[in-house]
Amino acid sequence: MQVFLVRHAIAHERNRTRWPNDRLRPLTTAGIRKFRKAAYGISQCLPKRAVLLTSPFVRARETAVILAEALGSSKAIECGELASGESPHTCFALLRKRKEEAVVLVGHEPNLSTFLAVALSGDGARMKIEFKKGAAACLNFNGRIEPGRATLEWMLPPRVLRTLR
């Protein structure tokens, strides 16, 4: 299974007055504009039949909608397992339930970099991975979807994704 990780685009700064519930914090106008360009770049790297799964948080859902438009695909499926603060093992369990050959996970930090580290190196992973807002990575699980069983195929920052044609 190919697994594509996409961190949500640039969102507004945390503000308890505007968004008492951080789950409701949206993308900024600049975040939307920049991610539309990055989403086109991501779409050039994805298989046509990839299923799009997203965190239920507003900023991730908005990112997933932009990516779905770039892919020309149906809307993203919300998955609580991708919410901010979840264990990387919830992602492994989510992926094991899927039958598709390619899955896109739209989520948050530090969830994505932790999942990436565990997927590559196993449960004791101590890697520090910088996963910028709007960045994407591709993992390949050849066989079982377990910690330490993935191969990193690529990881691109948003500025590079925005240049892909």
- What confidence tens digit (pLDDT) does each residue in 61-78 have? 999 999 999 998 778 999
Lowest-confidence pick of 71-75, 115-119, 151-155: 71-75
Percent of the chain scoring above 90 in pLDDT: 88
**Domain of 50, in residue numbers:** 2-161
User: What is the average per-residue pLDDT within 101-118?
Assistant: 96
Provide the strand spans (E) within 22-81: 51-54, 77-78
What CATH number does residue 30 fall under? 3.40.50.1240
CB 28 within 8 A of CB 18: no
User: What is the average per-residue pLDDT within 79-88?
Assistant: 93
Indicate the burial class of 6 (C-beta count within 10 angstroms; 0-12, 13-18, 19 or more).
buried
The number of folded domains in the chain is: 1
Closest-CA residue to 103 (of 60, 57, 137, 80) = 137
pTM: 0.96
pLDDT band at 30 (very low <50, low <70, confident <90, very high): very high
Per-residue confidence (pLDDT) for residue 111, from 0 to 100: 95
